[in-house]
Amino acid sequence: MKKGIITPRAFAHFKAGHPWLRADEVVDRKLLPNRPSAIYFADRWWFYSPESYLRLRRIGPDQAGWMKNPRLERFTNADHFGAYFGQWLSAHFEETLQRKIAALNFSKDEDLCLRWIFSENDLVPGLIVDIFGADILVVQLLTAPIESFWFVLRKIISNVFEAHFKRPPKIVELRTATVRKREGLEIIEPEAIEPRPLKWNGLNWLFTPASSQKTGAYLDQRENHRRARELAEKFACRNAWDICSYQGGFSLHLLAAGLKVTAVDQSAAALDVLAKNVALNPQIDRAHLTVEKADAFEWLTAQVAAKNQADLIVLDPPSFVKSREGVASAIKGYTELNTLAFQCLARPGLLISCVCSHHISTAAYKEVLARAAKATDRKFEVIDMKEAPPDHQPALGFNEGRYLQSWFLRVE
């Protein structure tokens, strides 16, 4: 790389393999185009977003000179981009698919549901592709270059999928993420798609592709849903509260283990689907489910006042923090939520406490749990702490991709 084209601070991140360069980190802006593109800059290929403060996002591995061609240094045309990168993308997508399917170890009684391509973490920034049931792909288009090249990317993804599964995918395109606004892109409501049943850890699950949260389901919690069931059975829990339940990922598994479950969420639509999910599983006693449309903090505070207790509590709230400045207030919120849960747990009890934000480190969250335990005079043993599953693994050197923690605590 030529000296001085990025700032010294950016250079340190760049050397450590970080895949972003911000607008103010590029010293010589003359080198940059004014349209969404793929460009060769600082010895790497990047997606270039002219309107975003995240101006450059690295394509492919952190390898100086990768795919270098002195005559070809930028693409704005999708066909030209496809002609140059198509072969690598096809091979990369196929390798990623095979590796993730093998790592996730699906059993015969479940549908294949996984995050196939996870943006920077899978070396194609701005693109998220989730597979639901080996025929539906829900794609999130997050950045301007991905929009510009989508026509070609769609063809490559579709071909790789068809070669692998021997059938063409139904592709659902999602343009709803707010990050699109920073790229100068519109937010567009998705087409309405009929819900369809899927097998999730052996249970029936009504899945609505591209419904309001994530791409339709929390694929990243699949292993933790299973682990919750195992532990509830191991410790003979009789009742559970699933706080921030969404459509019942944890509830369904706990009900299947024979527990009485109260699912709490502020979204009536999510709770409606949860009830439908339960009805799809004849082995579950529907009378064991109670749903409460409520704010998690208010509902738990009311349980403390009423001295109600549960053997198992799941806390799986949305992220409380979107930027570094919000960390202190988020820590306060997480501490309050966990303190309320500790106050309501039977002795002994199980707490499953999840956090999804790369701004909260594992050490910081352990401290949150310790503070909540101290405030309520409880002690806990960490039985398990799981980070992202194999299909959501962060790329090396990309801390922003490391977002999920699920703590499983045995509380005395």
Ligand X SMILES: C[S@@+](CC[C@H](N)C(=O)[O-])C[C@H]1O[C@@H](n2cnc3c(N)ncnc32)[C@H](O)[C@@H]1O
Q: Which residue is nearest to ligand X (CB)?
A: 249
Q: Does 215 bind ligand X (CB under 6 A)?
A: no
In DSSP notation, 1-36 reads: --TTSB-HHHHHHHHTT--EEEGGGBS-GGGS-SSS
Q: Does 249 bind ligand X (CB under 6 A)?
A: yes
What are residue 406's phi and psi, to 5 degrees? -130, 115
User: Is residue 239 within a helix (H) or strand (E), and if so which, with residue range?
Assistant: strand 239-243
Q: Does 218 bind ligand X (CB under 6 A)?
A: yes
Q: Does 406 bind ligand X (CB under 6 A)?
A: no
As given in the structure block, the two tokens for residue 341 are 């849960």
- What number of other Cβ atoms are within 10 A of residue 240's Cβ? 28
Give the range of 101-109, 266-274, 377-385, 387-395 binding ligand X by CB under 6 A.
266-274
Distances in Å between the Cα of 291 and the Cα atoms of 23, 46, 251 are 47, 47, 10
Pick from 119, 201, 221, 405: which binds ligand X (CB under 6 A)?
Answer: 221
d(C-alpha 37, C-alpha 149), whole Å: 9
As given in the structure block, the two tokens for residue 216 are 């339709």
Q: Does 270 bind ligand X (CB under 6 A)?
A: yes
Dihedral of the alpha carbons of 222, 301, 285, 272, in degrees to the nearest 10: -70
Q: Cβ closer to ligand X: 267 or 393?
A: 267
Residue ranges in 293-322 that form contacts with ligand X under rule CB under 6 A: 295-296, 316-318
How many Cα atoms within 13 Å fall on the side-chain side of residue 68?
11
Q: Cβ closer to ligand X: 197 or 317?
A: 317
Q: Cβ closer to ligand X: 153 or 244?
A: 244
Q: Cβ closer to ligand X: 14 or 334?
A: 334
Pick from 250, 342, 398, 408: which binds ligand X (CB under 6 A)?
Answer: 250
d(C-alpha 411, C-alpha 311), whole Å: 10
Compute the 3-state secondary structure of the chain and give helix, strand, coil in percent, each to the nearest 5. 40, 25, 35
- Looking up tokens 């299909």 gives 391
Give the range of 11-19, 182-190, 263-271, 382-390 binding ligand X by CB under 6 A.
263-271
Give the range of 96-104, 213-221, 232-240, 371-379 binding ligand X by CB under 6 A.
213-221
Q: Cβ closer to ligand X: 94 or 272?
A: 272
Pick from 10, 104, 198, 244: which binds ligand X (CB under 6 A)?
Answer: 244
Using CB under 6 A, list all residues that contact ligand X.
Answer: 213, 218, 221, 244-246, 249-250, 265-267, 270, 295-296, 316-318
